[in-house]
Every structure is written in C-alpha cells, then in structure tokens.
Amino acid sequence: MSDQKTFLLDGREIPFEPGQTVMQAALTAGVFIPHLCYHPEFRPHGSCKLCTVKINGRPATSCTMPAQAGMEVESDTAEIRDKRRALVQMLLVEGNHFCPSCEKSGHCKLQALGYALGVMTPHFTHFFPDRPVDASHPEVLLDFNRCILCELCIRASSEVDGKNVFALSGRGLKKHLIVNAESGRLADTDFQATDKAAQVCPVGVILAKRKGFAVPIGQRPFDASPISAQAERYKPVAPAPKKEA
Amino acid sequence: MNAPKRKLRVATTSLAGCFGCHMSFLDIDERILQLVELVEFDRSPITDIKHCGPCDLGIIEGGVCNAENVHVLREFRKNCKILVAMGACAVNGGLPAQRNHLDLRDILEEVYHTEPGLSGGGIPNDPELPLPLDKVHPIHEVVKVDYFLPGCPPPADAIWKFLTDLIAGRTPVMGHGLLHYD
Amino acid sequence: MDNTTQKTLAEILQRHGGDGTRLMQILRETQEALGWLAPDTLTDIAKGVGVPRARVEGVAGFYSFFHTVPRGRYRILWSDNITDRMLGNGDLMQSLCRRLWLEPGRVSEDGLVSVDFTSCTGMCDQGPALLANYRAVTRMTEDRVEQMAGLIRDQVPVADWPADWFRIEDNVRRADILLKNAMRPGEALKAALAREPEADVETASNARSWREGVHAQAHGPSAVLEEIKKSNLRGRGGAGFTTGIKWEACRHAPGDERYVVCNADEGEPGTFKDRVLLTRQADLVFEGMTVAAYVTGARKGYLYLRGEYRYMLEPLNEILARRRDAGLLGVKILGRQGFDFEIEVHLGAGAYVCGEESALIESLEGKRGVPRNRPPFPVTHGFLGKPTVVNNVETFAAAALIAAKGGEWYRGMGTAKSAGTKLLSVSGDVARPGIYEYPFGITLREVLADAGADNAQAVQVSGPSGLTAADNEFDRKIAFEDIPTAGAFMVFDHSRDMFEVARNFAQFFAHESCGFCTPCRVGTSLLKNLMNKIGEGHGTQADINEIYSLSRLLQMASHCGLGHTAPNPLLDTLDKFRPAYERRLKSLDFEPAFDLDGALARARQMTGRDDAGAHLAESK
C-alpha cells in the first residue's frame, strides 16, 4: 500500500499533497467542482460559494478547505446541485447578464456553469442595477453590468502586476468594483491590456476592445464540451511571478 | 399507458420579442408534420386567432414591456394549463430590458422630442397605443411560468426536444449544446 | 484643496504616523474636520499612508458612517431598530423631514442637512433615538423634532443643542456581581500578580511561555489562566467559546507578539449592555484586558468601540490615562518586570458585521470589515497575523472578577454548564426597560415579570440573529444549554404584529451584509424584497416557500454567522406566528413583486393619458 493520503469525493478516492485544498486535489485528479472565484494561479478566495460541498455531512467551501486524509466529501448530489443552481441564479439577477449581446458568451464561466447545472431560468426577480460602463481606456472596456465580484482582477493586479488597479467599494448588494483613479476612470490608471488583470475575468467585465466575437460559435471553449468535463483546465499551477510595478 | 388520443391544444405569441423564436420554431422544418399529428394550434401567428382559448400549452416569446403585453400574458396564463417562456427575452427580458437602467421619461423625450426622426410629433397619447411600463420584465416576474427554454433564439433542435418531451409527458431535459443563453 | 484643509489633513496623518493600519481613525478624524471625504482628500490620505487610492476609497465606501459624497452639515440618522419603530420613529422622522422640506435620504438643496435611517444605535431602552452628526440623542418626541428643525434651520452647532437631549441613562434595574463591583482600579490585577501556581497545578505549559525571554519569573500567568479555566467562563458575545481555552491557545501560539482585543462593537439590535458596562465599569473591563495580556503575554490591546458610541471615546481615553498614571498600564505594570501593556480605543464606523471577530480584526487593520476565511483562527493568526484574543466587553469584566476572586467562586454562580451572571438589555413592551444582571438559569418568565411585561406574546432573545420565543417557551432558561444570548431581550406584547418585527430584521440584515459571499449578499436582499412584497399585500404561498428555500441556502453556504443567522427571525416567526404572514397573502396564486399599474404611471404622466387602456387592473 502506498502512503499517499486520500479522501473520498462522491465515493471516489482522491489523492492529495499536504497543503492542498479539497478543490485543488479534486481538479488535479480530474474531478470538476463548480467555481467562479477560484483560479489555478491564485490563492483561494472563498466568496462565490459555488464550490460549496459537504464534508463529513457539514457544509464547507471546498476551495479554502484544506484536504485531510479520510474526509468524506459530497459534491455532485441533488441537494448541492440545487443550491449551486440557486447561486448562479442569484448572480444572474444581481447584475445585467444579456448573453446574446456579450462578447464573452461561449467563454464565460458563469454561463458555462449555468449550462452544466441546467439553469433554465434566472428564477428570482431581477434587480436590474444601473451600472455605467467605462470605455475610457483606449484598449480595454469595463462593463460592470456583468461583474460577479470574484475579485480575481483585484488579486491579479495586486499580486502579479504589482499595480493595484482594481478594488472594491460599497457593501452588501451595493458592493462594486472601482479603479485606482480619482476620476474613477480606467484611462487614468496605469492599467495595460497586457496586464494579468486583463486576462482573468471569468465573465464579461474586462474586455479587449476591437476583438469581440473573434471565435466563431461552435469553436468557443464551452461549445464542444461542458465546463464540468474540463477539470484539467483548472488544475493548480505555480502562481505567475510578480512584476515590478 | 397509451399516448393521449386528443390532440394537445397549443397557443403561441410574441410579446416584447422579435418573432425570432417563432422563426426558429419553424426551423424544425419537416418535423412540423409530425408535430401537427400531435397538436392543434389555438392563438398563434400560424392561425391568426386573436384571443387565446382554453389550451394545454402556451408558449410565450418576448418579455413584458407594455400594458398590452400584460393583458396578453394574463390571457395566456388564464387559459393555458402549462405556460412556457421561450427565448432570452421571455426568460430574462433580453435585449428590450437593456433599457431598464434608463428613465422612461428620458427615453420618450429622446425618441419623440430631441432626436431627429420622429421628433416634432410629440409623445403620442393615442389610446390605441399600449403604454410602456417603466421597466421591461421577464414573464416570470408577471405571471407564474411553468417551464423555461432560454436561447436567442433557442435552436430548432432544442425546441423540438423540448416540445416532444413535454408532449410525451417528460420533464424536458436539455443536454449540452441544446441549452444555451445566446 | 485649500491650505487650511491641507494643513488639517497633514496634522491628522502626522498624528497617526502615516500608518495604514490606522486608516479608520484617519478617515474618521478627517471627516470630523472636513465634513466629508472628497475624492482629492482620499487621494491625499492614500499618499499619506502609502496605500493604493482605490483601497482607501474601498474602505471609506464600506462603512455607513463615512461619506464619499457630501451629506450635509447636519446629518441626522434615526435609529431604526424595531423598538424605535414601536416608539414611533417613523412618524417623527417624517415630521422632521416635512419641517425641513426634505426627502428622507436626500441632502437638502442648500447642502445643509440630510435625514436618514441607520441600524440600531443601542439606545433601545430610551428611544426613539438618533445620531446628530454622530452624537447620540435619546427620547425623541414631536416637541424635540420641532425644536431640532429650528436649530438646524438656524444653523446652531450640534454642540450647542440642549444638553438634555444627549443625556444617556444607564437604567440599571438589577445588579449582580458585575454591576455591583466596587473593587478599586488595580485590585484585580494585584490579586492576579499575587497568584502563584498551587502545588498540584501543572506548570509545564510555561515551556512555551507567557512572554518569550522572561520564563523564569512567569509562573504567575499560568496560575491566573488556571483560575479562568476553573471558572468555566464562556464568551459573552453569544457564541460561548470557553475563554480559558481561547487564552491558552493564544498563549501557546508561536511568536513573540500577541494582542488582546475587546469587542465593544455592540451592533446586534436590541443590545446595549456593553454601553452600560463601559459607562459604569470601564476600569473592570480594562482590567480584564490587562489580565488577559498578563496571561497571554500580549503587549498591546485594542478596544473596538462601535461608531454609534462615539460619545464614549473621550471618557474612555481619560480612564486609560488615569490607569497609565496609576501604573496599571504602560511599562512594568505594578512594578512587575516584563509586564508591559497598552490599550487603545479604536472607533468603528457603522458596520454590524465587524462584530464578527475576524471582520473586526480586518477593520482594526484599517481594511474593509470582511470576515476572513478560517482556519486559521485569530488565536494563532489574528491582528496583523499575530496570535490574538478577541473577547466581548462582558467577558473581560467577568475575567477581572475571576482574577481577583478565583474560579471556584465564579463557578458557584449560574448553572452547571453556564457559570456566572449574564447582562440582559431589556427593551420593548415592558414597564421598566434597562439592564438586568442575572445568574445564568433565569427563565424568560422571571425576566418578564421583573421588567413589568404583563402582556407579552413574544421575546426576541439575542437580537435578530437569535431566537423568537413565543409564550409557550417563557419557561425556558437563559443559559448556554438552553437559550444562549449576547444579551438582547426585546419584548413584544399582543398588540404587536410579529410579521413587522421579522420584516424589520430582514431589512437590517440586507443593510448590514458585507457582500463578500454570493448567498448572503444577494440572498439577504431577496429575503428583504420578499418580506416587503408580503408586507405590501402582494404576497402568495409561493413567496413563503421561497423564504424557506432561500433560508436553507443562506444557512448552508454563507461565509459567516451573519448569513447563517439572517434567516432565523423569518423561520422562527413563520413557525410560531404563521397567521401574521398568511393574513397578508393576496392569494395562493402567483402575484408579481411590483405594482403593474404603478409601472405605467411614468408613461401616463408623459402622455397625459388616463383612459381605461392606460391602467392595469389587478389580476383576478
């Protein structure tokens, strides 16, 4: 017998390295757990709660929970799928998500999770918030209507780009993304289209200008297979090195 | 169990929509011949019946943007045992709902007063014209909706799968590729 | 930015040494001096503390009491707890607005004044209460509203308003060991220092000791810790974690820097006992913190005081200065070599979630008050990542008594599982609202009798996040093994509508959700909207089902206790006062969440139409 430590995920034995979270171990083993704020190159965040599982019968956030030998994790159960569906629906009504006119369609993780979980309707009453877009930057558009507050751009800008272009303000349902400028405009920050922060948005907030709809329908990342079959894309990797600001 | 002998009666309409979902529905092509063996149409662009009578199934395209939409939607809800929201606009308001962050006053002013085109005529007050609501709503925010089929439009194959499931008495399940929001 | 403004800002930044962890205090003092936090002010503060500007703006935007847009030279915030509502705050607020020609929530055209609601200000026994430029005003009446409107119109500074308005009563109705404490400052500390391990007490824990480097003489702290453990003191903030175990974990955590934090962010609506403890027994609380420092080896302590208690800042600082002069704080406390400890008061700025210990620590570090991921816990990774003990005001006060009188003495009071006494903040429909201190084990019925509640239909124990007890539960006991509580005790008589009670609480949680996690951020607002829909007569059975299903999601998936407990009042009232909901339901069928006819009003106005087609009748 090997001395590799393991835990059980929906009855399947998952090996893990010390220090790995349940999410990291599962993805490494090729088992997908739905997530939005987790990113293979960044420290876990634990805010979207899509990755909620039950560990030994108790709810837990799998992206922040350290793996331990012998734990029994339930993830793909009817009860948990139902809760995850409701979380996707909450995000859909919180912002303004109109997929037909969004350049991120087919590349969007929120949309892909909607498909994977069988979300047929936003279900709740829409909030229809008023969130003006910021088109000030020559190369990048910010459409806050689609922001799901995963903080990946904030983390990327601070931890990799060394810039702190993004931050959060407000509280509760009024929480929102802001940029690091007195004017509140992206053009007045040191943001560049080549920044890591420009690459990590799981939805359609941070968009390169003049590059929309480049990939034909049918060839987009989530056209051929559902996100749930693409665990290997999200395996943990070493964090990107921090650039000098 | 045998399949129901009586044909299912189906009504369809478009509210604040573009009839694109109806066009996609027609894209089921020759399968429509199979379908008419199973269903008959009540109010629908196909029949030109003006008011919906008692039906087994009502299919709504488009969201709710004005008073007339509300009347039609209520008529459908009252008469149809099962009500389906078909397409992005019925499901979440879609393109028309992208006016929701604007004040209706500003919209009407811009269309009828300040911008060239219709300007000069003033904001129409003809009782024949339905009044717009201050926001566009998906239909589930106005009446109870039983099933949803998103897509802009939903592809013909998805509509076919959805309808044949419903007619056969199965909960429709859209597999990968049939469920999409764009 | 003019020169005076720049000078003021420079002084404030200098006073805080440009320390980014002191951002909360810098923002507050700047706002007190300049009225609001303008965009260029935030830029200068960011430069001054070396923190990215967006992060400073994010902190300012998190707390209710910081303004990044002008809010008027007079900012009147009405406390909106259910007890204030029961005392008529709504009408009084409307009256004030009318007199000032003002819409609630809006700043007057001349920029003079704004009037709005805020979460419970902790004056439930003497409401309706408000904050006038963040100074607490109690016992509002129509007469006072009239006078206040005049004072504002005449631009009389708040400092010159009638002193009686700012009088805050302690209303101590029943005192026991804490409120009767008559020890002199330093007495408990002297007793603690005198305490040496008993012969049979294990002192091996000193191997990783009190304060790295002073092992040899430090057997006393473990002796005090033994007394705290023996007392079976449990946290008074509501969760009830055993204090001795917490202190021991912090004491044994690796590292040579530790912190002691007193949680006086008494934000749970209906709770005001810490305000009274800090008014009458501040020395005892500080002494408890100092005892904790002695036990754990901390050199620095903070008292996190909620922003609503701004008026206490100067008096508390005076007490700290006195203690310093008396050798009870500072270097070599009471002459004991190596026993150095300082306490500082940190003022919050209107955020209930900061009562959660890890959010409180974030706030203390000058950040947005967002609860951290756990593990690790504060006892190993707390303030600035160092081992930190966070305890409630009442816990520290009790710890000081235990240090003086011993664990056995303390354990003799209360019940087997809940040692000692508990302070209750009694408000609502009672003849004698105020503070009642009882040994644990008291029944709700006994409290109601003492407070003069002869017609109670329900008690909200421990605030909105606690339990709604109906009259068939009045023989239940206040104790960790039955009804644990942080101290709120709001009484509702039979004239009260329990639906409106729950609706007030749903509004509270939506306002106070920090927004970190999806279920709580969106879910608390969805719950609020559902309660408003039912309250406005548009509710259906489907909405009640939806409350249940959302509640299950919040309980399962929320990041912290706020989201976990936000459904409690809805579930409790649905369980125990269901007719209060059912009689409001419009039908058992579907109803929209918004008023369809009202949604045509704008278009009617624009077109001048009022014909039948310009209206939407209710659905049948």
- Looking at the structure, do residues C289 and C353 belong to the same domain, yes or no? yes
Residue whose entry in the numeric block shows the structure tokens 């709902």: B97
Residues of A in CB contact (< 8 Å) with B are 92, 96-102, 105-106, 111, 114-115, 118, 120-123, 125-126, 128-131, 217, 223, 225-226
- Regarding whether C223 and C372 lie in a shared domain, the answer is yes
Provide the pLDDT for residue C618. Answer: 72
Average pLDDT over residues C41-66: 97
**Domain around C24:** 3-62
| Nearest-Cα residue of chain C relative to residue B64 | C596
- Do C180 and C329 reside in the same domain of the chain? yes
Question: CB C132: neighbour CB atoms within 10 A?
Answer: 18
pLDDT of C329 over the 70 cut: yes
C204: confidence class by pLDDT, cuts 50, 70, 90: very low
Q: How far is CA C413 from the centre of its chain?
A: 27
Give the end of a domain, one of C169, C204, C220: C169
Decide if pLDDT at C154 tops 80.
Answer: yes
Let me know whether C12 and C115 are in one domain.
Answer: no
Mean of all residue pLDDT scores within chain C: 94
C364 CB-near residues (< 8 Å, 6+ apart): C21, C24, C261, C302, C304, C346, C383
pLDDT of res. A132: 93
Contacts of C159 (CB under 8 A, 6+ apart): none
pLDDT on residue C321? 98
Joined tokens for residue C295: 């036990």
Which residue in C529, C602, C605 has the most chain B C-beta atoms within 10 A of its own C-beta, making it the best mutation to test that interface? C602
Q: Do C556 and A52 touch (CB under 8 A)?
A: yes
Say whether both C179 and C322 belong to one domain.
Answer: yes
Residue C511 domain flag: yes
- Say whether both C304 and C402 belong to one domain: yes
> Which of A159, A161, A171 should we substitute to test contact with C (largest number of C Cβ atoms within 10 Å)?
A171
> In the prediction, which pLDDT does B119 show?
61
**Once rounded to an integer, what is the mean pLDDT over residues C85-97?**
98
Instruction: Look at residue C210 in the predicted model and tell me its pLDDT.
Output: 59
Would you say residue C549 lies in a domain? yes
Contact C27, C66 (CB under 8 A): yes
Task: Name which of C289, C302, C372, C366 is nearest C333 in CA terms.
Answer: C289
Average pLDDT score over residue span C450-458 = 97
| pLDDT (tens digit per residue) in B75-124 | 999 999 999 999 999 999 999 999 999 999 999 998 888 877 766 678 88
Rounded to whole angstroms, the Cα distance separating A227 from A231 reads 7
Which subunits count as partners of chain A given 3+ CB pairs below 8 Å?
A: B, C
Tens of pLDDT along A155-192?
999 999 999 999 999 999 999 999 999 999 999 999 99
* Residues in CB range of C566: below 8 A, 6 or more apart: C464, C465, C506, C509, C513, C520, C523, C524, C527, C554, C558
* C616 lies within 8 A of chain B by CB: yes
- Looking at residue A4, what is its pLDDT? 86
More confident residue, C220 or A235: A235
Residues C162 and C271 in one domain: no
Which of A87, A168, A178 shows the shortest C-beta gap to C557?
A87
The domains found in chain A, sorted by start residue, are: 6-76 (3.10.20.740), 91-210 (3.30.70.20)
Domain B8-97+132-167, architecture per CATH: 3-Layer(aba) Sandwich (3.40)
Whether C213 and C130 map to the same domain: the answer is: no
**Of C124, C119, C116, C129, the residue nearest C513 (C-alpha):** C119
The pTM of this model reads 0.95
Q: According to the model, what pLDDT value does residue C381 have?
A: 97
| Interface residue C27 vs chain A (CB under 8 A) | no
Does C213 have pLDDT greater than 70? no
Between C589 and C223, residue with greater pLDDT: C223
Confidence check: pLDDT of C205 > 50: no
Contacts of the segment C318-323: beta carbons below 8 A, 24+ positions apart: C319/C282, C319/C283, C319/C286, C320/C286, C320/C344, C320/C345, C322/C185, C323/C185, C323/C186, C323/C283, C323/C286
Q: Is the pLDDT of residue C547 over 70?
A: yes
Same domain, yes or no: C404 and C428: no
> Which parts of chain A have pLDDT scores under 70?
1-2, 244-245
pLDDT over 70 at C212, yes or no: no
C115 and C190 part of one domain: no
Same domain flag for C216 and C347: yes
Question: Does residue C326 lie in a domain region?
Answer: yes
Q: Do B148 and A121 touch (CB under 8 A)?
A: yes
Q: Tell whether A220 is within 8 A of chain C (Cβ).
A: no
Return the CA Rg of chain C: 25
Q: CA torsion, points B77, B79, B84, B88, in degrees to nearest 10?
A: -50
Looking at residue C216, its pLDDT comes to 47
In chain C, which among 175-214 make CB contacts under 8 A with chain A? none
- Which CATH number belongs to the domain containing residue C483 in this structure? 3.10.20.600
Whether residues C483 and C516 share a domain: the answer is no
Nearest residue to A231 via CA among A112, A102, A70: A112
**Residue C218 pLDDT grade (very low, low, confident, very high; cuts 50, 70, 90):** low
Assess whether pLDDT exceeds 50 at residue C383: yes
Domain spans in chain B, listed from the N-terminal domain onward: 8-97+132-167
Structure-token pair, residue B104? 């209706």
Is C292 a residue whose pLDDT tops 50? Answer: yes
Digit-coded pLDDT (tens) for C406-416? 999 999 999 99
Token digits of residue B109: 């002013």
CATH number at residue C558: 1.20.1440.230
Residue C161 CB partners (closer than 8 Å, separation 6+): C132, C148, C151
Task: Establish if C494 belongs to a structural domain.
Answer: no
Share of chain C above pLDDT 70, in %: 96
C555 falls within a domain = yes
pLDDT at C197: 67
**Is C597 inside any structural domain?**
no
C488, C513, C541 — which closes off a domain?
A: C488
Is B144 a residue whose pLDDT tops 50?
yes
B8 by DSSP, 3-state: which? strand
Residue C606 lies in a domain: no
Q: Of C169, C187, C213, at which residue does a domain stop?
A: C169
Q: Which amino acid is at C379?
A: V
Q: Is the pLDDT of residue C35 over 70?
A: yes
The residue type of C440 is F
Q: Poorest-confidence range of C12-16, C220-224, C403-407, C500-504?
A: C220-224
* Run of H or E including C489: strand C488-493
Ramachandran bin of C299, using left for φ above 0, alpha for ψ from -120 to 50, beta for the remaining angles: alpha
Residue C589 lies in a domain: no
Q: How many domains does chain C have?
A: 5
Q: What does the pLDDT average to over C589-607? A: 89
